[in-house]
Amino acid sequence: MARILITSALPYINGIKHLGNLVGSMLPADVYARFKRQQGHETLFICATDEHGTPAELAARAAGQDVAAYCREQYEIQKDAGDRFGLSFDHFGRSSNPPNHRLTQHFAHVLEENGLIEERLDHQVYSVDDERFLPDRYVEGTCPHCGYEKARGDQCDSCGRLLDPVDLIDPYSAISGSKNVEVRETKHLYLLQAQMQDRIADWVASKKDWPQLTKSIAGKWLKEGLRDRSITRDLKWGIPVAYEGEARPGFENKVFYVWFDAPIEYIGATEEWAQKTGGDWESWWRTDKGAGDVSYVQFMGKDNVAFHTVSFPATILGSEEPWKTVDALKSLNWLTWYGGKFSTSQNRGIFMDQALELLPADYWRWHLMANAPESDDASFTLEHFASVVNKDLADVLGNFVNRITRFCKARFGEEVPAEGAYGEAEAALEKELDAKIKSYTDNLELMEFRKAFVDLRAIWVAGNEYLQIAAPWTAIKEDREKAAASVRCALNLIVLFAALSRPVIPFTADKMFAIFGLDPEEASRWPSSAGEALSRFKGGESFTPPDVLFAKIEEDQVAAWRDQFGAE
């Protein structure tokens, strides 16, 4: 069995995440991790909150809290939401924890020793009224490229261009709104990415199996030429610019840039996991300590790809130390809300905690993954959500489970019938399922989630079609044994469906296993063949018909939700 390390892009600390954030990285990573565990692979799924940088300070200020206390509170909120959504992280850490401090300072030290970090005199926006330098998002103004009037100092949300605060037209302080700002000199450390151009290009070129979206974003940055990047900021909250506990002279009031320290937290969170469990974090990250046989898979939205195909690799490779680099990088496009952006301030869209107040997690998990924004951006609408849930989960899967368990209870009792032998219909079903399971498994291996869940739905449909052909409710009138065999086959299908569905709808899968009193961990082993699965129950095994697995979403619910969440 393989060793598989999976990391999801770190959710930023300022506020609960919306459905687009969820499907952009954490949820597909969870589906893949669950799939790999069911196959029997040694799998480590790591994530953490990204807690440093300007947005954390601004959000804490707006909440009237100390930034450290704000981050502690928000971490617990995000962790709880992830748990309730079934995100099966082996560890969900914090980038503000000590391992990330130590590792970030270590990487900066070795990069400087290798000639890849230098101190430069920089020009930065200074707020006279606030009496401080304004890094990145502390500065807002008009984008010089598209004219958007609320561009941030690091990036324009309208055209997507990366910016430097000094580029903004009519800049002002995001702290006070003051336009009494000027450009002053200050010192910063720069990561000399330009020196790594050829090495990064060769490394990216070696990743033949990366998705086209990932390759195109990396290629665009490489074609434009890598630029040296400042890795320090004039902030109080963050990782101090220090080596082995000694502050760098002249940098006492500066911290490392969040985009320098955040990816390093993948390693830091793994060390946190090891401290909690007694595991060996180095065997997952150091190729001289056993990580050479690890397959490392990253998941992220397209806006994070450049940092993970250029900046983080420059840090890892530039260290000249034997660190594990990513093998597969699954990138996704954006999920939009009725074609526009999710927005907390404008009450547009559904966020993770709100979603769980409306419906159980599996409703959302299924719709988001069956319609994952892989080839292009995808628009979430409540109407489409309701349609997919009703047709797929209620009418196909839920109807199958409830229909056969109730029929069996009524005609054979609450035990799997042992009478009769499988015939031509069951043989044909087995052959069909083997082909569909292979396609489903192959697409999950490739992380082609939309294709995979088309396959899974087709597997559910095959069960319903088999019931229509076998028609035990008709057969029992003339051939009880034939009816009994088809009922036994259908009850076995429930367990097969549960195992195959568990990566995406784990809570429902476990309810399906509970019908027969099965241990989910044992019963969810990835099926080697349909034939083996269909012969699990021989007869005599007891079961309890479940409540309705999925309630249909009604039109009046959709209408109320449209008003509540600003659907346009």
Give the end of a domain, one of 307, 332, 357. Answer: 332
Tell me, yes or no, whether 290 and 393 share the same domain: no
* pLDDT score for 345: 64
Q: Summarize pLDDT for 224-256 with one digit per residue, the tens.
A: 999 999 999 988 899 999 987 789 999 998 999
Does some domain include residue 349?
no
CB 195 within 8 A of CB 155: no
Tell me, yes or no, whether 183 and 302 share the same domain: no
How far apart are the C-alpha atoms of 323 and 73, rounded to whole Å?
Answer: 33
Tell me, yes or no, whether 414 and 397 share the same domain: yes
* pLDDT score for 227: 94
Tell me, yes or no, whether 89 and 153 share the same domain: no
How far apart are the C-alpha atoms of 197 and 195, rounded to whole Å?
Answer: 6
As given in the structure block, the two tokens for residue 68 are: 């450290």
Could you tell me whether strands 151-152 and 181-191 are parallel, antiparallel, or unpaired per DSSP bridges?
A: unpaired
Burial class (CB in 10 A: 0-12, 13-18, 19+), 513: buried
How far apart are the C-alpha atoms of 193 and 189, rounded to whole Å?
Answer: 12
Whether the pLDDT of residue 344 is over 70: the answer is: no
Q: Which domain holds residue 137?
A: 117-194+211-247
Q: Summarize pLDDT for 197-218 with one digit per residue, the tens.
A: 999 999 999 999 999 999 999 9
For residues 331-348, give the mean pLDDT: 87
Does some domain include residue 567?
no
The reply to whether 544 sits in an annotated binding site is no
**What's the CATH number where 318 sits?**
3.40.50.620
Tell me, yes or no, whether 441 and 513 share the same domain: yes
**What's the CATH number where 168 sits?**
2.170.220.10
Could you tell me whether strands 294-301 and 3-8 are parallel, antiparallel, or unpaired per DSSP bridges?
A: parallel
* pLDDT score for 128: 95
Tell me, yes or no, whether 92 and 123 share the same domain: no
Could you tell me whether strands 328-332 and 294-301 are parallel, antiparallel, or unpaired per DSSP bridges?
A: parallel
Residue type, 196: M
Count the domains in the chain. Answer: 3
Tell me, yes or no, whether 167 and 188 share the same domain: yes
**pLDDT mean across residues, the chain:** 95
Tell me, yes or no, whether 189 and 218 share the same domain: yes
The region of weakest confidence among 32-36, 163-167, 553-557 is: 163-167
List, in sequence order, the alpha helices (H) in 167-253.
Answer: 197-205, 212-224
As given in the structure block, the two tokens for residue 465 are: 């079609």
Does some domain include residue 127?
yes
CA angle 257, 245, 251 (to 5 degrees): 45
Whether the pLDDT of residue 568 is over 80: the answer is: no
Which residues are bridge partners to 364 per DSSP? none
Does some domain include residue 288?
yes
How far apart are the C-alpha atoms of 177 and 261, rounded to whole Å?
Answer: 29
Burial class (CB in 10 A: 0-12, 13-18, 19+), 153: buried
Which residues are bridge partners to 155 per DSSP? 162
The reply to whether 143 sits in an annotated binding site is yes
For residues 109-129, give the mean pLDDT: 95
Tell me, yes or no, whether 450 and 410 share the same domain: yes
Tell me, yes or no, whether 287 and 224 share the same domain: no
End-to-end CA, the chain: 49
Tell me, yes or no, whether 267 and 155 share the same domain: no
**C-alpha dist (Å) from residue 444 to 39, 113, 264, 332, 455:** 11, 43, 28, 15, 10
Whether the pLDDT of residue 108 is over 80: the answer is: yes
Sign of the C-alpha dihedral computed for residues 160, 308, 21 and 168 taken in this order: negative
Does some domain include residue 566?
no
As given in the structure block, the two tokens for residue 181 are: 């700002």
* pLDDT score for 433: 98
pTM, whole model, 2 decimals?
A: 0.94
Whether the pLDDT of residue 566 is over 90: the answer is: no
For residues 384-390, give the mean pLDDT: 98
Whether the pLDDT of residue 346 is over 80: the answer is: no
Does some domain include residue 40?
yes
**Residue from 542, 500, 212, 554 nearest 382 by CA:** 554
**Residue from 124, 121, 137 nearest 183 by CA:** 124
Does some domain include residue 167?
yes
Which residues are bridge partners to 46 per DSSP? 7, 91
As given in the structure block, the two tokens for residue 220 are: 């665009």
Whether the pLDDT of residue 352 is over 90: the answer is: yes
The reply to whether 146 sits in an annotated binding site is yes
Sign of the C-alpha dihedral computed for residues 449, 219, 54 and 163 taken in this order: negative
The reply to whether 408 sits in an annotated binding site is no
The reply to whether 159 sits in an annotated binding site is yes
**What's the CATH number where 436 sits?**
1.10.730.10
For residues 159-177, give the mean pLDDT: 90
Tell me, yes or no, whether 220 and 130 share the same domain: yes
Does some domain include residue 565?
no
As given in the structure block, the two tokens for residue 493 are: 């299908």
For residues 268-272, give the mean pLDDT: 98
How far apart are the C-alpha atoms of 1 and 337, rounded to whole Å?
Answer: 41
Phi/psi-derived region of residue 278, left when phi > 0, alpha when psi is between -120 and 50, beta in every other case: left
**C-alpha dist (Å) from residue 94 to 98, 208, 354:** 9, 33, 23
